Amino acid sequence: MENNKQTDELFEKVKQVLTQKGYNFTDGNFQEDELKAIQDIVDATAQIFSWDVYNGSLAISALEKIANTIAFLKAEAERDGNKFNGAVAYSIANDHVYLKSIARETLAEISEKNNLKAEIYGKQ
């Protein structure tokens, strides 16, 4: 619902800019299909931006897991109802293979999302 509010606000801003450039939305000369095209462009732009934000949050989350592995493992154990073992967590936190796997999984997910975005919207 928040995304719809943001796209509506963006649409209004686009209309303001176009009005400043001489387009008139109130005299009936601006066709309904032109307004629909503008709305579609705004919606697509908002979708692309939200995907980029999502990819950024994935990357940040992965970096936080890598930088604070022990805290992440402790929170995960508590969430799953498991007992936290500090010695095992320390060992995992110093395992470069485990840390690389976090990075690789995140990069794969971002790549998958970018490929889907390219299929839908074309190459940017």
Query: Which residue ranges make up each domain of the chain?
Result: 2-121
CA pair distance 44, 50, nearest whole angstrom: 10
User: Helix or strand or coil: residue 75?
Assistant: helix
CA pair distance 26, 85, nearest whole angstrom: 67
pLDDT by 10-residue block (mean), the chain, 124 residues: 63 72 64 66 68 79 90 93 95 92 90 76 59
Q: Which long-range contacts (CB under 8 A, 24 or more apart) does 45-48 make?
A: 45/10, 46/3, 46/6, 46/7, 46/10, 47/121, 48/117, 48/121, 48/124
pLDDT at residue 14, as a whole number: 72
pLDDT at residue 29, as a whole number: 59
pLDDT at residue 98, as a whole number: 92
Q: Which is nearest to 69 in space by CA: 103, 109, 25, 26?
A: 103
pLDDT at residue 101, as a whole number: 92
